[in-house]
Amino acid sequence: MKHRISFYLTYACILLFGTLGVLLLVFGEKEPRASQTENRMLAGFPTFSAESVGSGAFMSGLESYLSDGVPARDAIVVETAVWMNALSLEQDVNTDEELYAAIEAFSEEDETEDLPTEAPEDTPEPSETPETPAEADSETLQPDAAATDAPAPTEAPASENSVRDCAFRVTMKNGRVETLYTFPKENVQNAVNVLNAYRAVLPENGHVFFTQSPYPGIGFDLQSGRVIEWDCDVEETIQQNVLPGVEIVSTFETLKEPLRRGEDLFFTTDHHWKPRAACYVAQAMLERIGIHPLPYDGYAYYHLDGFYGAKYTSHPELKKTHKGDTIDVMIPQLPVTGYTIAWDGTEKPCPFMLKQANYVSYIGGTLGPWRCYETGVDSGRRCLVVGDSFLCAFVPYLTPYYDEVHTTDFRVAYYDAKHACWTLTDYVRDHAIDDIYIILGTANSINAGYMLNFLNRYL
């Protein structure tokens, strides 16, 4: 009797989910669309063809479509977050100061999830390709050095090795100096080695750019006058020890004066920078190679109100007491065509800018494993942007200056080396990449697994 009841229940569940699947296939939204709660693009119905069926891409896409098309998905995600928070020891956030601190704490936990925090055992020398960690699949991760046409730069840095412990310090309004971040010497040396290794895979006239962006709480403290000065020596230290062609741009220094002028550079409900801040950093990088970029206000924008970011996904009740952010969505000056590139090389269209009040307005949020934006510009150069979700607001400000802008995010959710058909070295060679931009938030940067492990592992 017990087995018969189990059989009937199982049969009923199969019938129910099968019916829901059929209804979704018939009546569901077929195009990709933004999820306000998950801060990403939900999958659209996959393209049906003999090639996609044969490669397995159709069935994989269909699975993603059915998963993302569950009725009332956003409500389920929000309610789950609410229940999870109700069971946690986290306290309510009431004041703005507490809100910013909570956003940073939330973002650091979110951005570093699943990232190893220990430095790899074998740290590559500046002019060598880093070795693959022992736990990685050597067949899919090992770069083919013999097939790389790009010459490795051989000129040594101008100054002697001066790597040391570094720190990011703030001077409070009362004159007290506080250290917010410390960068141990070994982590700084790892950053130098990684950036030099990336420079080695590029052509002779190529460039590697690197920056780390602070989270909103740090910016707002300077803007409000609670902090009167920033001081960070890690960017200068790295710059002194990298190869020619590696450019370190300090987001702290780039944004310092605009913040003091009261410019709106960070979201209050999210842990990301606003596109104005990303534009300033892109300008600083492009100026290093002799390009005079458009100012932020040289572009046209849609101005959209009512954005509630990552913090509000976990705390939807805060919408009752805190005003949403305004999002500026760039209107591109030239048509930009975007597509994702799967492990098997198949391509699928993806958005560039979306007219909606969500962080996925910027290039559709984080997608993987590879993306390319064709710009219509005839510059003769192509670039690759590597990083976490901070790259989303940054990428649009490169499109007027490169024929193609490629992106990848090495975090586990977006890049799985077991299925990789390219290492980064292969990808740079096969797509004739000239410049690489490494854009990270501080939680994924010099002290975190992204820089300590992933940038090495997938090279």
Mind listing the pLDDT tens digit for each residue in 176-199?
999 998 999 999 999 999 999 999
In the block, which residue shows the tokens 């790259």? Answer: 391
Q: Are residues 342 and 270 in the same domain?
A: yes
Q: Are residues 385 and 341 in the same domain?
A: yes
Q: Are residues 41 and 120 in the same domain?
A: no
Q: What are phi and psi of 148, to 5 degrees?
A: -85, 120
How far apart, in Å, do the first and last CA atoms of the chain sit?
A: 59
Q: What are phi and psi of 254, to 5 degrees?
A: -65, -35
When pLDDT is averaged across residues 340-354 and rounded to a whole number, the result is 88
Q: pLDDT tens for residues 77-132?
A: 444 443 333 333 333 333 444 444 443 444 444 444 444 333 333 333 333 333 33
Q: Does residue 180 lie within any of the structural domains?
A: yes
Q: Are residues 136 and 172 in the same domain?
A: yes
Q: Are residues 110 and 152 in the same domain?
A: yes
User: Domain limits at 42?
Assistant: 2-86
Q: Are residues 252 and 168 in the same domain?
A: yes
Tell me: pLDDT of 345 over 50: yes
Q: Does residue 407 lie within any of the structural domains?
A: yes
Q: Are residues 303 and 391 in the same domain?
A: yes
Number of domains making up the chain: 2
Q: Which of 39, 56, 86 is the last residue of a domain?
A: 86
Q: Does residue 94 lie within any of the structural domains?
A: no
Indicate if the alpha-carbon torsion angle 196, 202, 206, 212 is positive or negative. negative
Q: Are residues 168 and 228 in the same domain?
A: yes
**Does residue 124 or residue 171 have the better pLDDT?**
171
Q: Are residues 243 and 307 in the same domain?
A: yes
**Does residue 415 or residue 221 have the better pLDDT?**
221
Q: What is the pLDDT of residue 97?
A: 43
- Whole-number mean pLDDT of the chain? 77
In the block, which residue shows the tokens 């659209």? Answer: 44
Tell me: pLDDT of 237 over 70: yes
Q: Does residue 95 lie within any of the structural domains?
A: no
Asked if 294 and 129 touch (Cβ cutoff 8 Å), the reply is no
pTM to 2 decimal places: 0.70
Q: Does residue 91 lie within any of the structural domains?
A: no
Kindly state the tokens that stand for 140: 């899919």
Q: Are residues 23 and 161 in the same domain?
A: no
Asked if 264 and 255 touch (Cβ cutoff 8 Å), the reply is no
Q: Which of 57, 86, 115 is the last residue of a domain?
A: 86
- Within 10 angstroms of residue 208's Cβ, the number of other Cβ atoms is 24
Q: Does residue 261 lie within any of the structural domains?
A: yes
Q: Does residue 92 lie within any of the structural domains?
A: no
Q: Does residue 441 lie within any of the structural domains?
A: yes
Q: pLDDT tens for residues 29-50?
A: 665 554 444 444 556 666 666 6
Adjacency order of strands within the sheet including 166-172? 177-183, 166-172, 227-232
